[in-house]
Amino acid sequence: MAPSRALLCVSAVAALALITGCKKDLAHRVQDRIRQSDPDIVVTIRDSSTLDVKAGDQKVTVSLDNVATICKNEPDHCDDAIDRVVKNVNDLSETEKPMDPEELRAVLKSTAAVEDTKRAIKAQSPPDKLADNMIVTFPFQGDMQLVLVRDMPNGIAMLNHGALTSLHMDEQKAREVGLANDEKLFLSLPTETAAPGVLRIRTGDNYEASRIFVPKIWDAVAKQVNGVLLVVTPTRDVVFATGSKDAAGVATMKTFAKKAFDEGPYSISTMVLRRTDAGFVAAAAPHP
């Protein structure tokens, strides 16, 4: 019996994807390119969009989210985007470029994802480096966390305490700077109708959910719903909104959110949030 196409593709991947029609996923492609550029760099694939890289004494987590977006939307520029990631990784073995405070961002992540990352850091860090390598996070609402990241042209890296030292900031100051940078940069909030009474926010920059940290940009959305603005952030790049007085809209929004959360990727939460003058809070929380 002839082998199936699926088996052929598995064999092709093992043989560096030499069989036509079988392609390595992005994480493996980038891993191969980094290893080819410098065999001394250790690259471990954490998941389909995250690499753990050790170059000399430097250890970083590399997000491929921006590269994936480029490869999807501008395939002719995919190789260039990968080349930039490889260059950035190679630069780790030299003097690391100082971080600019304007690169700080506050992003929304699930508590589960945060805890997974922390466990990985604990498992991989020497005892004397653990404190510096630990990421900077803050509780937000329910099963969500505010996480500080460094936004670079070719990727996003979660901020660790060692970087705080180089910035001469403590956690609270870095949080203030990250939120202030969000406010300066997250100016647009385009919407589309997902269903009667339900809006979907999609900006295409992987920061949709993180825009809940900038409540003032939601004014226009709040005017489009019936009642107090309610939102849910099932994944990083999907946000649904409706009004508290629209029972059908609330039910539909929850259904959409559950489906998006289950399908992923980058799932965050199905908790419904309510907009207040002080920001977004759990919808079940008492009114201020």
The Cα–Cα gap between 94 and 170 comes to: 26
Range name among 11-15, 89-93, 170-174, 263-267 with the lowest pLDDT average: 11-15
pLDDT at position 205: 85
Range name among 17-26, 165-174, 210-219, 232-241 with the lowest pLDDT average: 17-26
Angle between helices 26-37 and 78-90 (to 10 degrees): 50
| φ, ψ (nearest 5 deg) of residue 237 | -115, 20
The Cα–Cα gap between 168 and 35 comes to: 34
- Is the pLDDT at 15 greater than 50, yes or no? no
> Where residue 2 falls among pLDDT bands split at 50, 70, 90?
very low
pLDDT at position 7: 33
pLDDT at position 3: 38
- Is the pLDDT at 118 greater than 90, yes or no? yes
> Where residue 18 falls among pLDDT bands split at 50, 70, 90?
very low
pLDDT at position 12: 31
Percent of the chain that is helix, strand, coil (3-state, to 5): 45, 25, 30
Q: How far is CA 77 from CA 29, 33, 84, 207, in A?
A: 15, 16, 11, 22
- Is the pLDDT at 288 greater than 60, yes or no? no
Q: How large is the C-alpha radius of gyration of the chain?
A: 21
Mean pLDDT score of the chain? 85
- Is the pLDDT at 14 greater than 60, yes or no? no
> pLDDT tens, 221-278?
999 999 999 999 999 999 999 999 999 999 999 999 999 999 988 899 999 999 998 8
Interval 276-281 mean pLDDT? 92
Q: Please check whether residue 230 is in contact with residue 253, taking contact to mean a CB–CB distance below 8 angstroms.
A: yes
pLDDT at position 92: 65
The rounded Cα 39 to chain-centroid distance in angstroms is 28
Q: What percent of the chain has pLDDT over 90?
A: 56
Domain ranges within the chain, ordered by starting residue: 5-93, 101-185, 191-282
pLDDT at position 170: 96
List the end-to-end C-alpha distance of the chain, in Å, as a whole number.
69
Comparing C-alpha atoms, which of 20, 18, 19 is closest to residue 32? Answer: 18
pLDDT at position 125: 86
Interval 116-139 mean pLDDT? 92
pLDDT at position 57: 67
